[in-house]
Structure 1
């Protein structure tokens, strides 16, 4: 494939990027994929809280039930583990064993932020002791912190626990993360929980290709934002002969898989109710493909994050389930047709995730 210079590469406008990304994210039309296949395709789901992965799949899959995802966790076919951007993600078991080692350099850098609290601590010894503790019995962060502090009484307890979380691939054991049955976070190692030894890290090349398949077209900085990794330019250059190149309206070079979908920019995009922290909104350095500049910062206030609503493929409001009602707050006035589509999509979401409860649907104020 002939190398295309950035100056001559075709331009993809915002709507073209939006529709391509929505298609990869299974948000342009609902997918018949199983929950396990979808989690694998999306390279994991943000999972700081219990409910977001369920809302993420309810928006994306046809025929999804919360019991399907809970079953994966219960059978240890999926786990909740710190990976991308130092946040909890829900991954398939196979991915957890290869993606966590891939992002280990970022976890090592994270430990450096806590060096002042780790003076005199042998980090290799800490990893060995922490592994013994959590593999003996799953521990909460508080229990792990207290046990490590006995060994290093002069160190900062919180820094000790964070260093252990960074050094080891710790998973949250069930029932944490299960729909309607969750519990506090207790941790053990992925190898112990899954009954399998650690595997070699996924290659950086494979990670880039999977990222583009789920989030492309994208720039080098986009991929680094998603993964938390740095110095990925050489990987993209190595892959360049296998990729197509484009540029956005600002001239930034974008890479993509040759056979990946890039729908017509005018393809209809139905409304979607997404969870807080959905990877769609967090996995690009330039988020304008989904978040118009006027909406920047409008999905959070102080330490409270609100669930985003997509209309015509773009962030257009927020929503919450509050006092027995699904409350929807658009950022701008919707047309009558848009309100009807949003209401229908909200009713569907409630039926999928809360079929045994009754909720009103109303437009109102979500953000105080």
Structure 2
């Protein structure tokens, strides 16, 4: 099998992620190609789409949410994801085992707090409350507590949020607006229940199309699911295989997708908090500067936003808006930046400020 270097994996993944050039696709096409976008920070998908699409207008995604063509709900890794509505209905049942672990193994809300509880009755009570109107977590707790007065109300509400196919409805996640996380269910919000016969094989193939070449462990890290070996074994005859030159692990890919050249020049890109590119592989050396850069603050890169230069993590960023119509974009280098690298990062930072703060009169780029 062909051995793939970290650089080869880097270029392949960036191209699959639409980060080698901005694409002329719709926001809905991009969200579906990426098999959803992490959205626990409500507006982060807007920056993620801006980095991937040519002429992206935030109102396009806002309209998808308001018109119910896209939704935000608990999905991969038991975290909030932006999905197309049809993907949410088709994929949500497959993620149920991960969400069950989130409930029953959770140290704060699960374990003994739910022991001996009739969970079917709890879910039925939660569904009945949501049928009357969308509800916040607080409102769910207020409804459930009198029914189980000897139980922990936050644990009951958490179980309902995770075990039912709940959706966080607008205005949460809509550009230019805000609101507390307010839940409904797929059946109530979309007028359709989740798919009764979802395809795990199709999910794995779509993962490889957007994140491959990848190992079984990579796919499990992305989805939060376990025991995917049997799925890859079943799909093996229709997959291409490589070897990771660094770890010697077997990598899988779709045979119809060629790999880009290792010397492909790639642009500087700003990624939002928790962008899926940074979270969707067990082995993250493909976007680190080198395998021995273990000192890099990876958690900071995920919670503040990451800057990729030459396809690798080079800095973090944070945008601060002020009431006086001013904004500051702070950039914290994580590696030594050359003068050309700083120039490219600064140019892309100016473009980000134009996109994210169109009505701001005073902007500043500050290196920390």
What TM-score results when the alignment is normalised by the length of structure 2? 0.93
More moved, 324-333 vs 15-24: 324-333
Instruction: Give SS of 2:3's match.
Output: coil
Instruction: Give SS of 2:83's match.
Output: strand
Give the conservation status (yes or no) of the 8 Å contact 2:273–2:302: no
Superposition deviation, residue 358 in structure 1: 3.6
Give the conservation status (yes or no) of the 8 Å contact 1:80–1:171: yes
Aligned runs of 1:101-250 on 2, under 5 Å? 101-113=93-105, 114-249=110-245, 250=247
Distance 1:147 1:119 in 2: 20
Match of 1:306 in 2: 304
Instruction: Give SS of 1:53's match.
Output: helix
* 1:212-232 Cα deviation digits (max 9, x unpaired): 000000000000000011100
Give the conservation status (yes or no) of the 8 Å contact 2:43–2:175: yes
Aligned runs of 1:265-276 on 2, under 5 Å? 265-276=262-273
Superposition deviation, residue 340 in structure 1: 1.6
Give the conservation status (yes or no) of the 8 Å contact 1:215–1:283: yes
Distance 2:295 2:285 in 1: 9
Give the conservation status (yes or no) of the 8 Å contact 1:119–1:155: no
> Gaps spanning 5+ residues in structure 1: where?
1-8
Distance 1:115 1:295, change over 3 A: closer
Match of 1:348 in 2: 351
Aligned length: 356
Matched, 1:81 2:73: yes
* 1:203-251 Cα deviation digits (max 9, x unpaired): 1110110000000000000000000111000110111110100011220
Superposition deviation, residue 299 in structure 1: 4.1
Give the conservation status (yes or no) of the 8 Å contact 2:288–2:313: yes
Give the conservation status (yes or no) of the 8 Å contact 1:223–1:283: yes
Distance 1:69 1:339, change over 3 A: same
Give the conservation status (yes or no) of the 8 Å contact 2:104–2:114: no
Instruction: Give SS of 2:51's match.
Output: helix
What TM-score results when the alignment is normalised by the length of structure 1? 0.93
Match of 1:93 in 2: 85
Distance 1:133 1:226 in 2: 32
Superposition deviation, residue 304 in structure 1: 8.9
* 1:142-196 Cα deviation digits (max 9, x unpaired): 1112211111111111211111112101101111100111211100101110112
Match of 2:261 in 1: 264
Larger RCO: 1 or 2 (CA < 8 Å, sep 6+): 1
Distance 1:126 1:134, change over 3 A: same
Give the conservation status (yes or no) of the 8 Å contact 1:58–1:353: no
**CA-atom RMSD in angstroms:** 1.6
Instruction: Give SS of 1:127's match.
Output: helix
Distance 1:143 1:184, change over 3 A: same
Superposition deviation, residue 197 in structure 1: 2.8
Matched, 1:53 2:52: no
Superposition deviation, residue 28 in structure 1: 0.7
Distance 2:361 2:34 in 1: 31
Tell me which stretches of 4 or more aligned residues in structure 1 moved more than 4 Å.
Answer: none
Instruction: Give SS of 2:145's match.
Output: helix
- Among 338, 341, 360, the residue aligned to 1:357: 360
Match of 1:3 in 2: none
More moved, 292-301 vs 17-26: 292-301
Distance 2:336 2:362 in 1: 23
Instruction: Give SS of 2:315's match.
Output: strand
Distance 1:35 1:315 in 2: 25
Matched, 1:278 2:275: yes
